[in-house]
Amino acid sequence: MDRRAFLFGTSTFATTQLLIGCGAKNKSKFSVNLLKKSLPSLVIDQYQKQLGKQKVDLKIYLQPQLQDIFQQLEAWGTAKKDPKQQNWLRWVPGMGNSETKVPGDLVTLGDSYLQDAIARRLIRPLDVGKLPQWSSLPSRWQELVTRDDRGFPSSQGKVWAAPYRWGSTMMIYRRDKFADLGLKAPQDWSDLWRDDLRNRVSLLDHPREIIGLTLKKLGKSYNTQDLSTVPQLEAELQSLNKNVKFYDSSKYLEPLLLGDTLISTGWSHDILPVMTRYPQLSAIVPESGTAIWADMWVNPINSQNQVDLLSQWINFYWQPDIANKVSVLTKTNSPIPTTITTEDIQPQLQKLLISNQALLEKSEFIFPLAAEVEKQYQDLFNKIKLQ
């Protein structure tokens, strides 16, 4: 499963229309298909007020999962190529009404979907010349979204997306159980191999994440191009597998709450909201670095291409004060440098949300790899799980 194909606690939400303009004539129409809970409604309201007297019919549709949004991109692309396919759009999540059959001007997309969206011509590049805040974006974020026409990172490529929030892969554990059993609190990925955690570990069911953290333990990169160059890798994975009770990418937090496992890997988007409700949980970002994920806005290939409104939306959310609010209220980080302090964040989340620059430099995006390399990861992961 891909990152957040299931969102803990939000899987039952239907597609929701959050805001809708008055629909008056002579208004420019601008619509955004947004991942649910990825922007605070308070900030969206602030954007709408900023529009002031502009004649804009703003519509925002909320989708519960990134996978739903990607399916919309696919459906819009198919409908353009073959109008006869319009009839089946009603079966695609979020496409059951006439409004969402019209391509959004901007949609949320996760970085893990970006390569596929570019290669399949589902989105168009952004005009950086209309994004003055682009220069404020640190270089690693610019590099993340600068891709060639196959969707692979390239310094000579085009800018295909605008990241607006990010998080990381973390370790989450039962602090109370560790204390009761006299176990040392975890600090790094290597703790997952400890003998005292035999059959007490749950891991994401994701080859790039699990092989990646093992590579990180060995001082290698998540994006290693040839696994055969790391001869000890398979033995390390076999040793880790002995401690694993199960692999799962959706309900991995529930067994932790029940005490069936004591420690798990997971995505910060799932973990941080749960921590505020369950004080017996603690989480860490491993000292050797971790994987980073990002949510971003992209422009569907067959949208109305409202360049000015599109740029206005992105520039608004890239303002430092707005980026601060998005980070604090959605428990994520911003690619735009912010001025968040400990007073802005709940105590149990402070070390997880206030960026540690040294740790950030050790962390990596999971970039797309050539098909034959991705197969190496998948084949090795399947082999280990069967042992």
Shared domain check, 251 and 141: no
218 and 144 in one domain? no
Would 358 be classed as within a structural domain?
Answer: no
Residues 231 and 376 grouped into a single domain: yes
Distance between CA atoms of 310 and 138, rounded to whole angstroms? 21
- pLDDT for the residue numbered 354: 65
Give per-residue pLDDT as tens, 89-99: 444 444 444 44
Is the same domain home to 160 and 307?
yes
Average the pLDDT over 71-83 and give the result. 77
Here the tokens at position 163 are 């990241």
Residues 348 and 370 placed together within one structural domain of the fold: no
| Residues 216-247 pLDDT 10s | 999 999 999 999 999 999 999 999 999 999 99
* Same domain for 276 and 177: yes
Rounded to 5°, angle at Cα 261 from 260 and 264: 145
Three-state DSSP state, 203 = strand
* Residue 10 domain-assigned (yes or no): no
**Mean of the pLDDT values across residues 14-38?**
67
Give the C-alpha separation, 141 to 318, whole Å: 13
- Does residue 175 share a domain with residue 87? no
- Dump pLDDT digits (tens) for 359-385: 889 999 999 999 999 999 999 999 999
Q: pLDDT over 70 for what percent of the chain?
A: 87
The mean pLDDT of the chain is 87
Asked whether residue 29 falls in the same domain as residue 150, the answer is yes
121 and 228 housed in the same domain: no
**Residue 9, in any domain of the structure:** no
- Shared domain for 263 and 174, answered yes or no, is yes
Q: Which pLDDT does position 350 carry in this prediction? A: 77
Looking at the structure, tell me whether residues 244 and 377 fall in a common domain.
yes
Specify whether 205 is located in the same domain as 78: no
pLDDT mean over 72-95:
61
pLDDT score recorded for residue 80: 58
Position 193 in a domain: yes
For position 110, which CATH number holds? 3.40.190.10
Q: Is residue 7 part of a domain?
A: no
- How many domains is the chain built from? 2
Task: Give the pLDDT confidence of 300-319 residue by residue, as tens digits.
Answer: 998 887 888 999 999 999 99
Whole-angstrom Cα distance, residue 122 to residue 113? 11
Structure tokens at 98: 């006439």
List the domain range (segments joined by +) for residue 301.
Answer: 16-166+293-353
Cα–Cα distance list, 326 to 9, 153, 274 (Å): 20, 27, 18
Q: Helix 307-317 crosses helix 41-51 at what angle (to 10 degrees)? A: 130
User: Can you give the pLDDT at residue 136?
Assistant: 87
Q: What does the alpha-carbon distance between residue 344 and residue 135 come to, in Å, rounded to a whole number?
A: 26
- Tell me: pLDDT of 156 over 70: yes
Q: CA 191, 198, 252 angle in degrees (round to 5)?
A: 80
Which pLDDT score is estimated for 52?
A: 81
pLDDT higher than 50, residue 4: no
pLDDT at residue number 232: 97
Split at pLDDT 50, 70, 90, the class of 81 is low
